C-alpha cells in the first residue's frame, strides 16, 4: 500500500460541533507489498474517507480529543495534513496494524494528547478501509481477518428514550434501551415496531440527542413500566440502561429526579429494578472510579443482568484487564474513539473476551454518517452494538449498514 495524499477537514457532528474527517488517497498493490513500486505492478488508485464521533458524557481516562480553545478541531486537522501526512507518505505499508503502530509512536504520549485521538482515529479507520479495498473484501471481513475473530451479528441496543446529559435530564438515567436479539433483520424489525409503538403511546414529546424520545415522568419506575410493556409485546427484546453515573455524582451521592442516593441505596435500587423488570444490562451504574461498587453489583446480579463498563473502562486494554482481576463487571462498552486507534480497539475486544465478558461496540452521542462501528461490531463478533434511537438519520445509518452486512455475509 502506498499512500499518496492525505486530506483532512472539520465537519459538523449531530450536535453541530466540529469533528475530524479524513480522506486518504493511495495506490493499492494487491498480493504484493514490499519489493516493487506500485506503478511497476500496476497498482490501482483508491480513496477512502472516515470521520470520528464525539462524546458528551465522557470518562476522564479517555484518550484526548484534541480541541482548540474555541472548541474547533483545526489543530487536529492540521496535524493530519502536516506531520501525519508526511509520515504516511514517506514509505509503503504492509498492514493497517503497521500504520496504527506508527501513528501511536509518532504521537508519543500515553493518551494521544499531542496529535489528538480524533486525528489519529480518523486516519486509522480510513487506513483500515484502504486495506479492505486492497484485499477486495467487505470492511467487516477485513476487520475479522485482522483481529482473528469469528464475525457475527451483534444484539441491537436501541436507545428508545434519551435522558441525562443527552436530554437536559428530562429523564434521570441517560439511556433507556430496548435490547433486540436474533438475526439483524428480525431484531431491527422488532426495534422498529417497538419504537413506533412507544412513539404512539408517548405522543408529541421532544427527541433527545441520540434519536430517542425524551418524555418526562413523575417517578423513576414509569419508564420501566413502559419498557416492560414493549418487551411483553415484542418477542426477543429486553431492557437495558446506561445510568452514566459519572454525570449523577455530586458530593459522594447520586442524584436521580429530586432524590439523592448513597452508593448503597443506589445499589438496592438497581437490584430492585432488575428483580421486577426484564433487565439485560446496566451500564456505568456507579462513577468511573467506584470499582468496589461495580464489583458488588456485578456479584449481586450475576446470572440475572450484565454490568457494563464504559467510562469505567474507556476501551483501554489495561483498564479492562484490571477490571477483570477485580471481577468488577461482566461486559465492556467498546468505543474506538475512547482509545484512539482501530488496533487498540481490537486489543480492548481481546481483553474483554479474555475475561469471558461480552463486548458491546458503541457509537457516541455526537455522531457523523460514518458507519464504521457497524462493520467493526460485526467483524469482531461483538455480543452487542449500541447505536442510538431510530429518530435520527446518523443513528439509522448504522442499523442500515448492519442490514446490508447481513446480506453481504450471506453472499460470501
Which stretches of the chain bind Mg ion, using CB under 5 A? 242, 310
User: Which DSSP letter does residue 384 get?
Assistant: E
Nearer residue to ligand 2PG within complex by CB, 14 or 48? 14
Catalytic residue among 2, 112, 141, 335: 335
Q: Encode 292-342 in three state secondary structure.
A: HHHHHHHHHHCCCCEEEECCCCCCCHHHHHHHHHCCCCCEEEECHHHHCCH
Residue 310 binds ligand 2PG (CB under 6 A): yes
| Strand pairing class (279-283; 237-242) | parallel
Clarify whether 247 is annotated catalytic: no
Which of 107, 242, 347, 370 is in the footprint of ligand 2PG by CB under 6 A? 242
Residue 58 binds ligand 2PG (CB under 6 A): yes
398 touches 374 (CB < 8 A): yes
Phi, psi of 394 (to 5 degrees): -70, -20
Q: State the binding string over 146-175 for ligand 2PG (x if CB under 6 A, else -).
A: -----------------------------x
Clarify whether 210 is annotated catalytic: yes
287 touches 294 (CB < 8 A): no
Residue 244 binds ligand 2PG (CB under 6 A): yes
Distance CA 331, CA 322 (A): 13
Q: For cell 480541541, name the residue.
A: 67
Distance CA 407, CA 153 (A): 11
Question: How many CB atoms neighbour CB 275 within 10 A?
Answer: 11
- Residue 107 interacting partner from ligand 2PG, Mg ion, none (CB closer than 5 to 8 Å by kind): none
Nearer residue to ligand 2PG within complex by CB, 134 or 311? 311
Q: Helix (H, G, I), strand (E, B), or coil: what is residue 292?
A: helix
Nearer residue to ligand 2PG within complex by CB, 27 or 333? 333
Question: How many CB atoms neighbour CB 196 within 10 A?
Answer: 11
Residue 365 binds ligand 2PG (CB under 6 A): yes
- Residue 353 interacting partner from Mg ion, ligand 2PG, none (CB closer than 5 to 8 Å by kind): none
Stretch that binds ligand 2PG, among 39-47, 50-58, 109-117, 229-237 (CB under 6 A): 50-58
Binding site for ligand 2PG (CB under 6 A): 55-58, 175, 210, 242, 244, 310, 333, 362, 364-365, 386
Catalytic residues: 210, 335
Amino acid at each position: 500500500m502506498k499512500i499518496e495524499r492525505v486530506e483532512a477537514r472539520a465537519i459538523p457532528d449531530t450536535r453541530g460541533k466540529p469533528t475530524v474527517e479524513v480522506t486518504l488517497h493511495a495506490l493499492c498493490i494487491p498480493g504484493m507489498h514490499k519489493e516493487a513500486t506500485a506503478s511497476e505492478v500496476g497498482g490501482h488508485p483508491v480513496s477512502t474517507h472516515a470521520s470520528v464521533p464525539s462524546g458528551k458524557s465522557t470518562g476522564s481516562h479517555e484518550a484526548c480529543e484534541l480541541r482548540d480553545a474555541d472548541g474547533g478541531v483545526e489543530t487536529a486537522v492540521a496535524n493530519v495534513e502536516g506531520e501525519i501526512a508526511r509520515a504516511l507518505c514517506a514509505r509503503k505499508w504492509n498492514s493497517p496494524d503497521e500504520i496504527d503502530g506508527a501513528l501511536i509512536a509518532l504521537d508519543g504520549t500515553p493518551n494521544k494528547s499531542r496529535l489528538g485521538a480524533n486525528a489519529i482515529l480518523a486516519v486509522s479507520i480510513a487506513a483500515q478501509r484502504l486495506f479492505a479495498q486492497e484485499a477486495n473484501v467487505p470492511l467487516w471481513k477485513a476487520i475479522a481477518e485482522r483481529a482473528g475473530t469469528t464475525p457475527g451479528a451483534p444484539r441491537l441496543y436501541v436507545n428508545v428514550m434519551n435522558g441525562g446529559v443527552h436530554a437536559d435530564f428530562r429523564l434521570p438515567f441517560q439511556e433507556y434501551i430496548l435490547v433486540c436479539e436474533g438475526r439483524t433483520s428480525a431484531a431491527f424489525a422488532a426495534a422498529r415496531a417497538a419504537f413506533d409503538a412507544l412513539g404512539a403511546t408517548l405522543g408529541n414529546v421532544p427527541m433527545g440527542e441520540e434519536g430517542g424520545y425524551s418524555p418526562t415522568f413523575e417517578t423513576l419506575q414509569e419508564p420501566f413500566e413502559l419498557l416492560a410493556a414493549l418487551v411483553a409485546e415484542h418477542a426477543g427484546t429486553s431492557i437495558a440502561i446506561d445510568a452514566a453515573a459519572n454525570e449523577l455524582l455530586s458530593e459522594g451521592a447520586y442524584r436521580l429526579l429530586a432524590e439523592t442516593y448513597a452508593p448503597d441505596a443506589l445499589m438496592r435500587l438497581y437490584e430492585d429494578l432488575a428483580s421486577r423488570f426484564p433487565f439485560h444490562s446496566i451500564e456505568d451504574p456507579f462513577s468511573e472510579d467506584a470499582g468496589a461498587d461495580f464489583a458488588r453489583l456485578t456479584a449481586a446480579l450475576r446470572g440475572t443482568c450484565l454490568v457494563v463498563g464504559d467510562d469505567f473502562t474507556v476501551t483501554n486494554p489495561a483498564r479492562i484487564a484490571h477490571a477483570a482481576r477485580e471481577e468488577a463487571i461482566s461486559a465492556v462498552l467498546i468505543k474506538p474513539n475512547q482509545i484512539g486507534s482501530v488496533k487498540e480497539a481490537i486489543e480492548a475486544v481481546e481483553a474483554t473476551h479474555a475475561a469471558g465478558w461480552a463486548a458491546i461496540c458503541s457509537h457516541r452521542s455526537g455522531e457523523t454518517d460514518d458507519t464504521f462501528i457497524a462493520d467493526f461490531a460485526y467483524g469482531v463478533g461483538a455480543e452487542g452494538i449500541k447505536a442510538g434511537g431510530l429518530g435520527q438519520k446518523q443513528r439509522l445509518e448504522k442499523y442500515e449498514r448492519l442490514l446490508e452486512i447481513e446480506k453481504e455475509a450471506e453472499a460470501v
